Chain A
Amino acid sequence: MTLGTDKLVQHLSESLPRWLFAATAALTVILLISIFIFLFVTGINAFGSIGLKEFFWGTDWNPASFHTPSWGIFSLILGSLMVSFISLLISVPFGLSIAIYLAEIAPPKTRETLKPVIEMIASIPSVVLGLLGLLFLAPITAGLFGLSNGLNAFTASILVAVASLPTITSVSEDALSSVTYKFREASLALGATKWVTIKKAVIPAAKSGLVAAIMLGLGRVIGETMIVLMVAGNSRALPSSFLDSVQPMTATIAIEIKEVVIGTLHWQSLFAIGLVLFTITFIVNFLADLLIHKK
């Protein structure tokens, strides 16, 4: 009889954890899948009611208008793209340079100190960068370009570049470091200098990882909310220059979601913008992931 209980206890102590872990994993899957489902179900109505063409190509976003509300997010998309473009223009060369220094040139001690510094930059809350933008950077750009205020796509992009720097740096540093030492040794043995080795042997071998770093950086900048909300100026007009105020998709959601009535077309259309963001970042991350795990 005691033997039976022992066996039962032993059996339970093995199968219980298994079921517990399986249930945890299942719960996680359900939660994460439901993110997509909720966005999709709520947002898809908006596509139907507004029409895809009007939604994506319309340049006028004014859902709260009393007379004829308009639902075009083209200016918002353009705002997101402008900020992404300028900030990547800054953070990609900057981040790659840091990565090359860390992976190829820096002595081990310097490297050990610099890597945590980059990680610390990643943990600067974006609201802090937005605040510093309002207090310091916006007045500087306003003075530099003779504008009434410095709240525009350009100012926001500089700060977003800082926010995306750690992503680009650490992913490309990983890519460079994982290039086998044989490549470097073979190149150096053939008489190439260190720079030629980096340029002709290491960077080409790490190419897919470096592209992935840029894509992950893009995912990071397009989703940035607080900086653009605070510093980009929040203008829904179609921007014509980098010094114009813009209101990217993320900022639009953050500004309007608190004021809309649940279930209305306005509410649904904000979820539709969320769905667009989700889709863009998911595709970008997916491609980056394929590139990183290519081998």
Chain B
Amino acid sequence: MKNNLRETIYFLIFKTSAFLGIFILLLVLLLLFISGYSVIDWTFLASGWQHRDIARGGIFPAILGSIYLGIGVTLISFSLGVGTAVFLTEYNKNNLTRRIFQLTIRNLAGVPSVVYGLFGLAVFVNFFSLGTSLLAAILTLSIMTLPWIITASVEALESVPQKFRESSLALGASHWQTISKIILPAAIPGSITGGVIAIARALGETAPIIFVGATFYLSNLPSSLFDKFMALPYHTFILATQHSSPLATSYAAGTALVLILLTFLLSLGAIILRYYYRKKKDW
């Protein structure tokens, strides 16, 4: 009886914790919505930023900047990440180098984003003289997401059953035919879902882009990769901490709301994709 009671109490605590998790997520959304929804309208979303009178302007340049970043990071870190993962799992026969490599990659995934920002500043902005620019920011965030994408892709490739490879080779297909026709199609959905979540996280990162190219006020939209750019997380940060207007906090919350919707839509999309892909998977 005493044991049963204890069990009931513990299980209740565990269950409450789990639902507290949902509560936190909802609370974050709710509080952001309360503080930010009043500023969100068409002008806010679609027009340029007005530094003097923030009520007249919008955050379109920041939305566009974040989208440019997302596209750039996707192109670079996906191609490098999937390519590296294919080499590791399909070509590299040496188990030791593969293990060392994977260990390093997994550890780099835990290095703080601010350190990647320092690296980007030293290497892309200064050493390669790209200046504080969209390109420097894309490269920095790409390197930061690279370990996440490689890890997701390696997992996806490793989960393709060995018999797929053997059957294909036994039927006379070459190594490359096996990889391109059998293994990659089976593994790509897995690496895409992992990758999209990584991109969503990269889009929410603020610290690295402070160093390498984000700016608060732009008179023009960026027209080349070497221009400075505005981005949603940095815009939120400046409005929240360094803007004197009494309206600044609600504009910060409005910007944050747009940012979180963007990252949530991406993550949710990836999660749903993964769900259907797992259901469809017949191995």
A residues neighboring B (CB under 8 Å)? 10, 13-14, 17-18, 20-22, 24-25, 27-29, 31-32, 34-35, 38-39, 42, 94, 97-98, 100-102, 105-106, 114, 116-132, 134-136, 162, 165, 169, 193-196, 216, 219-220, 222-226, 229-230, 250, 253-254, 257-258, 262, 270-271, 274, 277-278, 281-282, 284-286, 289
Contacts and interface: CB of A to CB of B under 8 A. Distances in A.
A119 B201 CA distance: 11
A281 B241 contact: no
B250 to A, nearest CB: 9
Contact of A117 (B10, B25, B112): B25
Contact of B263 (A114, A118, A123, A274): A123
A169 B117 CA distance: 27
Interface residues of B, number: 89
B71 interface: no
B264 A123 contact: yes
A199 B65 CA distance: 50
B121 A123 contact: no
B4 to A, nearest CB: 7
Which residue, of B81, B180, B260, has the highest number of chain A Cβ atoms within 10 A? B260
B253 interface: yes
B204 A125 contact: yes
A98 B176 contact: no
B215 to A, nearest CB: 11
Contacts of B107: 282, 285-286, 289
A276 B181 CA distance: 46
Contacts of B206: 125-127, 225-226
Contact of A25 (B83, B175, B197, B267): B83
Interface of B: 3-4, 6-7, 10-11, 13-15, 17-18, 20-22, 24-25, 28, 31-32, 35, 79-81, 83-84, 86-88, 90-92, 101, 103-119, 121-123, 126, 143, 146-147, 150, 174-176, 179-180, 197, 200-201, 203-207, 210-211, 233, 236-237, 240-241, 249, 252-253, 256, 259-260, 263-264, 266-268, 271
Q: Which of A102, A257, A258 has the largest count of B CB atoms less than 10 A from its CB?
A: A257
A114 B22 contact: yes
Residue among B107, B241, B252 having the largest count of chain A Cβ atoms under 10 Å = B107
Given A125-B260, A127-B236, A196-B3, A262 B126 contact: yes
A32 B28 contact: no
14 contacts: A10-B174, A17-B179, A31-B143, A105-B11, A116-B268, A120-B271, A124-B260, A127-B259, A131-B252, A131-B256, A132-B28, A254-B114, A286-B103, A289-B107
What are the 5 closest A-B residue pairs judged by CB atoms, nearest first? A223-B112, A125-B204, A24-B83, A97-B17, A101-B14
B120 to A, nearest CB: 10
Given A105-B11, A135-B249, A253-B118, A121 B25 contact: yes
Interface hub of A24, A106, A250, A271 (most chain B Cβ within 10 A): A24
Contact of A194 (B7, B25, B122): B7
A43 B200 CA distance: 31
A126 B256 CA distance: 10
B222 to A, nearest CB: 19
A119 B86 CA distance: 26
B87 A24 contact: yes
Nearest to B109: A285
Contacts of B108: 32, 35
A29 to B, nearest CB: 7
A130 B106 CA distance: 27
A39 B118 contact: yes
Contact of B110 (A114, A162, A219): A219
Contacts of A271: 118, 122
Contact of A124 (B20, B112, B204): B204
A34 B116 CA distance: 11
A223 B146 contact: no
A120 B23 CA distance: 12
A21 B114 contact: no
Given A28-B150, A270-B118, A281-B112, A123 B267 contact: yes
Given A14-B176, A132-B32, A21 B83 contact: yes
B237 A162 contact: no
Given A123-B201, A125-B260, A250-B207, A13 B84 contact: no
Between A18, A20, A25, A98, the greatest number of chain B beta carbons within 10 A of the residue's beta carbon is seen for: A25
A114 B18 contact: yes
Given A124-B28, A125-B206, A254-B207, A277 B122 contact: no
Contacts of A253: 114, 117-118
A120 B112 contact: no
B31 A136 contact: yes
B21 A32 contact: no
B242 to A, nearest CB: 11
A254 B112 CA distance: 12
Contacts of A254: 114, 117, 207, 210-211
Contacts of A220: 110
Given A165-B21, A194-B7, A285 B118 contact: no
Given A120-B264, A274-B114, 9 more contacts: A17-B176, A18-B175, A18-B176, A25-B92, A128-B260, A131-B252, A222-B112, A254-B210, A271-B118
